[in-house]
């Protein structure tokens, strides 16, 4: 038999007669050069052909470039391993009976000896079925297999690592556990899946790590783990091995949630940016955002006191730039470390649930940033994104667009939705920038986009993914909410996919928001020319399950605060703001208010500092605060405001056309149609005496809310008694004459229901 290159280079492996070398020619050189796709085929224990006496033997190779010498420990036996390559490959032949469970004693500088388990003697931790489902984009529990998981494997405790990088030459794990030395722990690719895997004994929670990815072009880059479950505090970018030990206490909340339908219960949402809600002063005098656990001490009690049913958090997934507010995500499976650990976030959510507050989180799957340590060109190719910038780059935000056609990318996002629901008990996801996903030409000029296969502008792959995500989430968790921020007139966004819809449960009503703020920003003297900007939303109010948002987007980027949008002097500004809020709470659709709106924040929101809580010492701001609390209280107490929110039979105009006086009035009805609520809005600073409105029943009616009340810092003008007489008016059998306070909204109910 002719002498091979491998036999010439490594004669120690063939020193025993009759033993063939199981390593293919060039394998060890590729290993040493960091280019081997399957180091386990070279390293670890490999059976050898039986000798003349029939004995079984095993050849063990070890890769220890940091070692001056290596001893193989098998039971009580110590076998000195021979260096077969100067870069640090060692080998020894031992009887098969001694090879199981062997360990390595590695001598390092100064004759220090360290005993370790050899990572290359372990079986894969990811099964064939998992790889198959991942390749088809159908692995709904993918996060349980990829990423870093602390586990006991073959009787040894350590951490398994799994990452998808199908076009890489090789991938290595580096971290605190190996001195960030990329030579030490190359991973193996599992078949043709593109998934690289390695089990590292002894790795414990808290260890920082990254992947060292060698591209086909020979470029070596350090990458954070796409499936990292924890990270360093930004601006540091390493992934962190973590293991949850949290014991949930929200069983009662989850049971109640399962028994309710979000479409038929009150829903009043407080939108919150955790980093700027409140700050705390440390002993050294510096101010900082609250931690998750500090937030748990304050936020649930505050929301319960204010009467909100839910809080919606701006994105909590890890992001490198605080100025993105979380909307440029690099760690889709990692809560931001700015406020604490993943279990600290679980503690906050648990406390919110125990206080009766549901938790929604903004979820960003429309784009991701170009940071070269994150998802962008992860394995040296356009892996998560499209290669063609006409499809793969977002012109508005300088970010990348996911390749929604690629099965593994779809699976990454699909599993992520379930991950947040199941690992953090979320009650819903608000999907950001849905419109940018739906249209291939979104924010693009002619020639800057690629048509779909039918020549159209619809992103068919994104549409299919959105539908699939909603179907899967609702199949697993039918009691949660999937909410779309969709700014166009795409039909049936919040209708089931079985009826041709996108499958969301709710949709933000961006048209209502724009028209309403445009109207309220007008000087009252001009409002009669803009009257139908308030009524237009009722032409389509029941086409979708709408949420009415006064969100962070309306108080940022130079738009000023809600209070700052209001015209007039200081008194009129606050009166207008109170009227806006009461109009919103009475309007069909669920309501969402960004933090600061409830205190009449004067300045535009700044993510770097706290809300101006000191403003509550001033009567006007305290009045707005008390009004929002009252709105939520009265709202919850009157099913007419929410039982038929998405049904046209729950709403009826009294008079939408009084443009001359800028007065609008309507009725809301509960499901049984026996507890009506009338809303009357006078949106000029002129008091209207003897203003007649129609009412559906006679007798005494009560003001259950008056935004001009002294408690809200209003002028105190009110209707002490309201008697509905049998005088038909506005298509109602009865009517009453009211005094309408200036720039104010009244809510009226029959006395026996007020």
> Which positions are annotated as active-site residues?
432, 485
Count Cβ neighbours within 10 Å for each residue of 704-720 and write b for 16 or more, e otherwise.
bbbbbbeebbbeebbbe
Task: Specify whether the CB–CB gap between 146 and 332 falls below 8 A.
Answer: no
With vertex at residue 363, the alpha carbon angle to CA 361 and CA 365, rounded to the nearest 5 degrees, is 175
Closest CA to 305 of 575, 616, 574: 616
Residue 302 phi, psi (nearest 5): -65, -45
- The tokens for 149 are 């998981």
Determine how β-strand 220-223 pairs with β-strand 208-215.
Answer: antiparallel
Q: Are 583 and 593 in contact (CB under 8 A)?
A: no
- Of how many residues is the chain composed? 754
DSSP 535-581: HGGGGTTTSS-EEEEE-GGGGSTT---HHHHS-SSHHHHHHHHHHHH
Instruction: Please give the backbone phi and psi of residue 57, each rounded to the nearest 5 degrees, phi first.
Output: -130, 155
Residue of 710, 709, 715, 737 lying closest to 725 (CA atoms): 737
- 744 vs 579: CA distance, rounded Å: 5
Q: Which candidate, 421, 548, 413, 416, places its Cα nearest to that of 474?
A: 421
Distance CA 661, CA 408 (A): 59
For residue 247, give both structure tokens: 């014991």
* Closest C-alpha to 628, from 707, 718, 744: 707
Number of neighbours of residue 54 by Cβ within 10 angstroms: 6
546-550 vs 506-508, strand pairing mode: parallel
Neighbours of 21 (CB within 10 A): 19
Separation between Cα atoms, residue 79 and residue 92, nearest integer Å: 7
DSSP alpha helix (H) spans, 51-139: 96-99, 128-136
CA distances from 486 to 189, 317, 493, 549 (A): 40, 21, 8, 12
Return the SS3 of 672.
coil
Decide if 175 contacts 208 (C-beta within 8 A): yes
- What the block records as the tokens of 641 is 């405001």
Two tokens, residue 465 = 């993914």
Question: 399-400 and 428-431: which strand pairing?
Answer: unpaired
Q: What share of the chain is helix, strand, coil (3-state, %, to 5)?
A: 30, 25, 45
Residue 720 near residue 748, CB atoms below 8 Å: no
Indicate the helix (H) or strand (E) that contains 327: none
Alpha helices in 24-89 (DSSP H): 27-32
User: Which residue's structure tokens are 């309220």?
Assistant: 520
């Amino acid at each position: 038999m002719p002498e091979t290159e491998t036999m010439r280079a490594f004669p120690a492996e063939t020193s025993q007669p009759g033993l063939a070398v199981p390593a293919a020619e060039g394998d060890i050189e590729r290993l040493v050069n960091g280019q081997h796709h399957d180091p386990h085929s070279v390293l670890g224990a490999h059976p050898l052909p039986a000798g003349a006496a029939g004995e079984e033997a095993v050849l063990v190779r070890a890769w220890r470039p940091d070692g001056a010498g290596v001893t193989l420990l098998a039971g009580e036996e110590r076998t000195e391993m021979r260096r077969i390559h100067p870069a640090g490959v060692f080998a020894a032949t031992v009887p098969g009976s001694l090879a199981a469970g062997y360990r390595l004693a590695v001598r390092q500088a100064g004759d220090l000896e360290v005993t370790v388990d050899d990572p290359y003697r372990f079986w894969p931790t990811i099964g064939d079925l998992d790889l198959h489902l991942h390749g088809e984009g159908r692995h709904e529990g993918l996060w349980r297999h990829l990423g870093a998981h602390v586990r006991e494997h073959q009787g040894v405790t350590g951490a398994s690592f799994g990452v998808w990088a199908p076009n890489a030459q090789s991938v290595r794990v580096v971290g605190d556990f190996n001195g960030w030395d990329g030579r030490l722990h190359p991973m193996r690719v599992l078949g043709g899946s593109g998934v690289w895997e390695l089990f590292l004994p002894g790795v414990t929670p808290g260890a920082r790590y990254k992947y060292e990815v060698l591209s086909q072009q020979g470029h070596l880059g350090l990458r954070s783990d796409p499936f990292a479950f924890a990270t360093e505090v930004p601006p540091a970018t390493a992934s962190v091995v973590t293991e949850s030990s949290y014991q949930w206490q929200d069983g009662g909340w989850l049971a109640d949630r399962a028994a309710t339908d979000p479409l038929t219960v009150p829903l009043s949402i407080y939108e919150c940016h955790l980093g700027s809600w409140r700050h705390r002063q440390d002993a050294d005098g510096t101010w900082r955002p609250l931690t998750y656990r500090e937030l748990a001490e304050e936020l649930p009690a505050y929301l319960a006191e204010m009467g909100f049913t839910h809080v919606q958090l701006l994105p909590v997934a890890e992001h490198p730039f605080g100025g993105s507010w979380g909307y440029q995500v690099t760690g889709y499976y990692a809560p931001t470390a700015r406020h604490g650990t993943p279990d600290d976030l679980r503690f906050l959510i648990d406390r919110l649930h125990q206080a009766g507050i549901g938790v929604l989180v903004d979820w960003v799957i429309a784009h991701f940033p170009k940071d070269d340590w994150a998802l962008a060109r992860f394995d040296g190719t356009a892996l998560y994104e499209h290669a063609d910038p006409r499809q793969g780059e977002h012109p508005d935000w300088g970010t990348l667009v996911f390749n929604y056609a690629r099965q593994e990318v779809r699976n990454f996002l699909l599993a992520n939705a379930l991950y947040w629901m199941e690992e953090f008990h979320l009650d819903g996801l608000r999907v950001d920038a849905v419109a940018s996903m739906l249209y291939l030409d979104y924010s693009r000029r002619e020639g800057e986009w690629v048509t779909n296969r039918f020549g159209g502008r619809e992103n068919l792959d994104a549409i299919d993914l959105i539908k699939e995500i909603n179907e899967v989430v609702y199949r697993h968790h039918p009691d949660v909410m999937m909410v779309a921020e969709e700014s166009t007139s795409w039909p049936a966004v919040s209708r089931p996919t079985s009826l041709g819809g996108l499958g969301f449960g709710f949709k933000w009503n961006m048209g209502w928001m724009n028209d309403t703020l445009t109207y309220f920003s007008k000087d009252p003297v001009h409002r009669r020319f803009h009257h139908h900007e308030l009524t237009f939303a009722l032409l389509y109010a029941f086409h979708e399950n709408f949420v009415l948002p006064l969100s962070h987007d309306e108080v940022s980027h130079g738009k000023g605060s809600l209070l700052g949008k209001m015209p007039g002097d200081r008194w009129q500004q606050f009166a207008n703001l109170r009227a806006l809020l009461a109009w919103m709470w009475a309007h069909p659709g669920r309501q969402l208010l960004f933090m600061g709106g409830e205190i009449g924040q004067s300045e535009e929101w700044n993510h770097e500092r706290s809300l101006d809580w000191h403003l509550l010492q001033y009567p006007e701001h305290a009045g707005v605060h008390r009004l929002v609390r009252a709105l939520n209280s009265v709202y919850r107490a009157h099913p007419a405001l929410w039982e038929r929110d998405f049904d046209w039979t729950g709403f009826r105009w009294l008079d939408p056309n009084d443009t001359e006086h800028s007065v609008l009035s309507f009725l809301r009805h509960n499901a049984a149609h026996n507890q009506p609520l009338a809303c009357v809005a006078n949106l000029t600073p002129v008091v209207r005496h003897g203003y007649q409105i129609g009412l559906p029943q006679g007798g005494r009616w009560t003001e259950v809310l008056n935004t001009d009340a002294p408690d809200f810092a209003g002028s105190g003008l009110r209707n002490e008694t309201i008697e509905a007489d049998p005088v038909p008016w506005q298509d109602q059998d009865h009517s009453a004459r009211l005094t309408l306070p200036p720039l104010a909204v009244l809510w009226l109910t029959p006395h026996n229901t007020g």
